[in-house]
Structure 1
Amino acid sequence: MTRPNLLHPALIALVVLTGIYFEPLREIAFRTGLEYGPQVLVNRLRPQPIVVDVNRNITYLGSYTSVYSDVQHFQNIFYAEEPSGNRRFAPPVPVDHRKGSVIDATQPGAWCPQGTGDILPFTSRVMNVSENCLSLRVARPRNVKSDAKLPVAVWIHGGGHALGSASEVLYTPDGLVGQAAADGQPVVWVAINYRLGFFGFATSKALVDAKHTNAGLRDQRAALEWVRDNIAAFGGDPHKVTVIGQSVGASDISLQLTAFAGKRGAPFQQAIMMSGGPGLNFNTKPDLVTKNTGDIARQVGCVRNGDDQSVETLQCLREADVDLLTNISVTASRAARPPFGEGFFYPTLDGDFIQDRPSQLMRAGKFAKGIPIIASWVTNDGAWYVPPPTTTDDEVLGSFGLWLFNLAGTTKTKLLELYPTEDFEHMVQQDDGPISAQYYRAAQMNRDIWFTCPVLDFAWQYLKNGGVESSQIRLYEHNATRYAPSFGMMGVPMWRVAHLSDIPYVLNVKGLGGGADNSHPQLELSKRVSRTITKFVGTGSPEGNGSGVESWPAAFHDVGKPELSKDFPDKLSLQVVGGPYGTTPVTIAKGENPSSAAEQAVYWEKLFSRCEFINSHQMREESGV
């Protein structure tokens, strides 16, 4: 099958010959290049990046996306065939390029079907949407040889399984890749697209019977298998792959670890999970998503004989117009779960890829083992899930009621007791506007339910049930943001260090848009954080050798067998990144008074009592995690 991003061999031959034999024209290009713009000029001044996979006889044509960058980009590389027609909802079918193929990898690929338009001031405007979206992008430093065997970082984007793309401007990897090369620790970067929303997570009896469920997760796995089989041609080491996920991207890493009850291992060797664990995936039982899938089928006119679970209904959905399905499913998702439609279509139990509730699989030790982990959360991860006018207990509980709709009255009462309003009165600031302590109470509750407690539960259960040695799990709390000016312009200064805040630090983004903070201190912290990440990618440890971190204790470094019998730890260590206390290690223990100001700040979060309840059997059952 001819791919839309293949160039004719004769055309690439012409391009290469032009670059070789018309070297004298470079000076002319320099004199006249301004009329075409800097990117055209830079492409005239240096050879086009080219990768040749000699084993498969495939040539990839790349580009430099910035006149100032030494980072080579290869974009819109398909790892699977277009998932349309009978392939819609089905597991991805790997691309088999014919020998001699020349792949034009100079332009970004399409985003998988989702709502279009603007999202946030510092993110991309969603425009180029297509079902033919199962592609990835590779970035690497200049002058990388095919036998370099560089460590590989693979990015799984967040977006609530409703939004996102490997081409999102917020995920620009040039800063991370460029700095790593400058530090003498070069890496290869990969970011992947996977099916979202209705197309990625629809479910029905017919889909379950066919094992055509959780397509988005199967896409991720197929992309990681492409990396395993192909990244060596780009100078990467297929045996040294670290997967990095943010938000549901991090949650999906946990689902990849528990996939097939752990029997098939994991197609990566290390993981960094930013603001996400298996507990982020609420309501794993498929009832809600099955109903939502049937409702879409009914609106499209695909329900036959009143049975929205039938093979006939499924076939009709596969033959339906992609734009019609996108518009109807996105509209329904956003109406039910405003503003972006999160939690309407998402991973569910299917008896195949996800064989039990993820928290149960973790407790049974049914997961891929031997994967060193860094896991994290952001100080105000829950801030944007709460309406600013929140002032009452009912409104606090209602801030997550759309997602956690099965909580018992006793559970809600316990949550309110664990988060007394007076704990949050000191957070109210004059510049926030008419914001009460109840807002910050709800924000902290949302943070812990969605992010912090699931991360802690995953890390503890992974250690307790034989995943890795205690030295191979590290935690951090990110406490800095470059979005403060943007949030101010948006009228939400109370978000502070909100969800997404860690991304430009991890990726060392230099020119963050939307009025964000690109000041020297913030760029220096970004460089330091990114160095820590690449140090882990390269060596398995975030410490030392110029990473900017000399002491980052393992999360449960001195935990013995008696403690491991418990369902939640009594002591934990983590790294606090940025904020008023700087970047520093912190250790807290149940019932012990903290000594440093940073430890006091973390201890104030009451992680032991709050997360013990949120991760308890009772609340996990009601949350469906």
Structure 2
Amino acid sequence: MAARLVASGIALLLVFVAVYFQEPLNDFLDPRPTVVDSTRDITYIGSRSFANIEHFQNIFYAEEPTGKRRFAPPVPIQHARGSIIDATQSGAWCPQGTGDILPFTSRIINISENCLSLRIARPKGIEKDAKLPVVVWLHGGGHALGSGSDTLYEPDGLVEQASADRMPLIYVAINYRLGLFGFATSKTLIERKETNAGLRDQRAALNWVRENIEAFGGDPDRVTAIGQSVGSSDIGLQLLAFGGAEGAPFQQAIMMSAGPGVNFNSQPDMVTSNTATIANQVSCVKDGDDQSLKTLECLREVPFEALTNLSVAASRAARPPFGEGFFYPTIDNDFLQDRPSQLMRTGKFAKGIPIIASWVANEGAWYVPPSTSTDEEALGSFGLWLSNLSEDTKRKLLELYPLEDFDHMVRPDYDGPISPQYYRAAQMSRDIWFTCTALEFTWRYVRNGPGKPSQVRLYEFNETMYTPVFRAMGVPMWRVAHLSDIPYLFNNKHLGRGTENSERHLALAQDFSRTIIEFVSSICIGESDSALGSWRPAYAGATAEQEWFDEISIQLFGGPHSSETVTISKYGEMSAKTAAEKAIYWEKLFNRCEFICGEQMREEAWV
């Protein structure tokens, strides 16, 4: 009896210690992960999740971009020898609006200019000389918001799946400057080559990975950049940077939802004007010249809180609700030397990079007011961004998207009184911002570069975990909307706040993340097509003589037709046999994207 009482007492004591001293006990039983960079004599102290994934957070790749460094290109950080870096906690997000964005994303509460950091995740027990492939994540958010630390991008499921499949990898997510701080433009900034700071941040972070990731067990010569939304289009801009003369700071790319095509006007005029507006609001315009060096120097002295509040307010007023498309990448005759479409057409890009590009089924749904019910309202749904389209172009768009094509999408019992005009406008937005930009970029990449057609693949994602959330938000008509493929990529098994985590979705997440992991691990897909099994290259039969493709292969993931590769021809609609083929033909990608990416619309949109 006495022995049992003693044992019980010891057990209770251990429970007490575990509850009240969990962190010290964990450190004693299983010390925090440590990485020692012996070359630079730097030690990184990280943390470990319950999934046995080691995390190293808030690792700075550049000096604090304040004072004279505000708006300027990032300065690579140089830690003193013997430095010990506390990488146990996430750091600040770059200046942006605070508060809630979407139910399944993080609440933004901690912002600072000292935000040029990255986070690293890896399996437990990785040796320094492991030489694992590396994934570098570029978040979306319209160059207005977001962070690599958002809960939406939690990497444990992806890293865990890769290890289970015996294809372990290192994950890196980066923060880069946004809004005014990342994309301020003026005559002086252009002359000083201090524009597109956010893009330069991304490149500096990728360079940090190349120079430092080996200490964490990564291979600097096996880096796959993955970006979503503007993170995707920015990957395209990294390939176009400096006219391709400096190559790419990665070996492969996955561009989820967008390419640098018709999605943004690349002329600097609008962003220059928006920058000048903020300069006037903070009384920084000197001698009546809002483009002068004195004005710039004044802007660099204004407290970041004032610049953040004013620029976020102006952005969201002009581009509701999040302020996208107010400050964005522009031609500066340095980093970006011409319109993206022109650079692609003249072959001025980094070549030989295997690429996967994609879109989701209802990508444009949340960019259109649910009340849209007329031709004018359908065209107006993207009018803020494409304000110079001619009447002829608008007429042609309406012809390419006949209203009767969308009658079957109306679900009054589920969506409410939604007009087919809404679905028409949503499809236009999807194609303009996402689908056609992906096709334009990848087609030009194949046609105007020396790379092999087998190096480019496409997918369309047709599933979402967000259905219950969208219903609760009052927008069930969004369906498979923007962001839908992200939790499947990250193999997130516990996405909260009302999302659906049924076995069907978890099985698709495992399948999809595994496919991406295979691509990341192969790194030489152009020489080893077997890496992605039956997933056919997008333009397998392309020739240099073709101005526009007439056959295309697209991998479908999820949805009513399951996952399969569909190959369609511009002239083969009547021969479509499977439901999946018919669904892709319904999208009319050949004619619609040929016009959207054609000379007339490109000239009017200045892309």
Q: TM-score, normalised by structure 1?
A: 0.93
Distance 1:285 1:42, change over 3 A: same
Amino acid aligned to 1:463: V
Paired residue for 1:50, among 18, 30, 34? 34
Mapped partners of 2:387, 2:24: distance in 1: 54
Identity of aligned residues (%): 65
**Structure 2 portions without partners, runs of 5+:** 1-9
Map of 1:545-556 to 2, 5 A cutoff?
A: 550-556=533-539
Mapped partners of 1:554, 1:225: distance in 2: 29
Is the counterpart of residue 61 in structure 1 residue 41 in structure 2? Answer: no
Amino acid aligned to 1:136: L
Mapped partners of 2:458, 2:524: distance in 1: 12
Mapped partners of 1:577, 1:542: distance in 2: 20
Residue in 1 that maps onto 2:581: 599
Amino acid aligned to 1:60: Y
Residue in 2 that maps onto 1:333: 315
Deviations 1:346-381 (A, max 9, x none): 000000000000010000000001100000001000
Residue in 2 that maps onto 1:570: 550
Paired residue for 1:408, among 361, 365, 390? 390
The alpha carbon displacement at 1:621 in A equals 1.1
Amino acid aligned to 2:159: V
The alpha carbon displacement at 1:251 in A equals 0.1
Is the counterpart of residue 610 in structure 1 residue 592 in structure 2? Answer: yes
What SS does structure 2 have at the residue aligned with 1:417? Answer: helix
Mapped partners of 2:549, 2:63: distance in 1: 46
The alpha carbon displacement at 1:550 in A equals 3.4
1:122–1:512 CA contact under 8 A, matched in 2: yes
Amino acid aligned to 2:34: I
Mapped partners of 1:134, 1:254: distance in 2: 21
What SS does structure 2 have at the residue aligned with 1:509? Answer: coil
Paired residue for 1:450, among 425, 433, 442? 433
2:56–2:120 CA contact under 8 A, matched in 1: yes
Is the counterpart of residue 437 in structure 1 residue 420 in structure 2? Answer: yes
Mapped partners of 1:198, 1:89: distance in 2: 8
Paired residue for 2:292, among 301, 305, 310? 310
Mapped partners of 1:413, 1:439: distance in 2: 17
Residue in 1 that maps onto 2:86: 104
Mapped partners of 1:467, 1:484: distance in 2: 43
The alpha carbon displacement at 1:567 in A equals 2.6
Residue in 2 that maps onto 1:127: 109
The alpha carbon displacement at 1:558 in A equals 2.2
Amino acid aligned to 2:560: P
The alpha carbon displacement at 1:574 in A equals 1.0
Mapped partners of 1:107, 1:280: distance in 2: 39
Deviations 1:576-615 (A, max 9, x none): 0000110001001011132211011011000001001001
The alpha carbon displacement at 1:32 in A equals 2.3
Paired residue for 2:356, among 355, 369, 374? 374
The alpha carbon displacement at 1:36 in A equals 3.8
1:253–1:271 CA contact under 8 A, matched in 2: yes
Residue in 2 that maps onto 1:505: 488
Deviations 1:2-48 (A, max 9, x none): xxxxxxxxxxxxxxxxxxxxxxxx98985225534866764554110
Paired residue for 1:194, among 145, 158, 176? 176
Is the counterpart of residue 460 in structure 1 residue 443 in structure 2? Answer: yes
Off by >6 Å, runs of 4+ in structure 1: 26-29, 37-40
Mapped partners of 2:547, 2:447: distance in 1: 9
Is the counterpart of residue 536 in structure 1 residue 516 in structure 2? Answer: no
Deviations 1:460-518 (A, max 9, x none): 00000015201110000011000001001000000000000000011111111220011
Residue in 1 that maps onto 2:498: 515
Distance 1:97 1:524, change over 3 A: same
2:455–2:525 CA contact under 8 A, matched in 1: no
Deviations 1:48-76 (A, max 9, x none): 00000011110000001x3x211100000
Distance 1:414 1:36, change over 3 A: farther
Distance 1:584 1:123, change over 3 A: same
Map of 1:451-490 to 2, 5 A cutoff?
A: 451-490=434-473
Mapped partners of 2:478, 2:525: distance in 1: 29
What SS does structure 2 have at the residue aligned with 1:243? Answer: strand
Is the counterpart of residue 422 in structure 1 residue 404 in structure 2? Answer: yes
Paired residue for 2:376, among 383, 394, 398? 394
Residue in 1 that maps onto 2:5: none
The alpha carbon displacement at 1:276 in A equals 1.1
Amino acid aligned to 1:258: L
Distance 1:426 1:307, change over 3 A: same
What SS does structure 2 have at the residue aligned with 1:309? Answer: coil
Residue in 2 that maps onto 1:21: none
2:222–2:523 CA contact under 8 A, matched in 1: no
1:478–1:577 CA contact under 8 A, matched in 2: yes
Deviations 1:294-319 (A, max 9, x none): 00000011001211000000000001
**Structure 1 portions without partners, runs of 5+:** 1-25
Distance 1:29 1:96, change over 3 A: farther
* RMSD between superposed Cα atoms in Å: 1.7
Mapped partners of 1:98, 1:525: distance in 2: 46
Residues matched between the structures, number? 593
Amino acid aligned to 2:571: G
Mapped partners of 2:275, 2:480: distance in 1: 36
Mapped partners of 1:230, 1:348: distance in 2: 30
Map of 1:214-233 to 2, 5 A cutoff?
A: 214-233=196-215
Deviates more, 1:140-149 or 1:276-285: 276-285
Residue in 1 that maps onto 2:569: 589
What SS does structure 2 have at the residue aligned with 1:319? Answer: coil
Residue in 2 that maps onto 1:255: 237
The alpha carbon displacement at 1:542 in A equals 8.0
Residue in 1 that maps onto 2:6: none
Amino acid aligned to 1:570: D
2:251–2:523 CA contact under 8 A, matched in 1: no
Mapped partners of 1:517, 1:215: distance in 2: 38
Amino acid aligned to 1:83: P
The alpha carbon displacement at 1:624 in A equals 1.4
Paired residue for 1:324, among 303, 306, 313? 306
Mapped partners of 1:382, 1:616: distance in 2: 20
Amino acid aligned to 1:125: R
What SS does structure 1 have at the residue aligned with 2:300? Answer: helix
Mapped partners of 1:270, 1:172: distance in 2: 22
Mapped partners of 1:129, 1:404: distance in 2: 31
The alpha carbon displacement at 1:159 in A equals 0.3
Distance 1:27 1:197, change over 3 A: farther
Deviates more, 1:200-209 or 1:464-473: 464-473
Residue in 2 that maps onto 1:13: none
Mapped partners of 1:59, 1:29: distance in 2: 35
Mapped partners of 2:451, 2:95: distance in 1: 38
The alpha carbon displacement at 1:414 in A equals 0.3
Q: TM-score, normalised by structure 2?
A: 0.95
Amino acid aligned to 1:436: S
Distance 1:181 1:33, change over 3 A: farther
Amino acid aligned to 2:558: G
Paired residue for 1:149, among 122, 125, 131? 131
Mapped partners of 1:519, 1:39: distance in 2: 33
Mapped partners of 1:33, 1:401: distance in 2: 62
2:263–2:437 CA contact under 8 A, matched in 1: no
Mapped partners of 2:389, 2:351: distance in 1: 32
2:284–2:298 CA contact under 8 A, matched in 1: yes
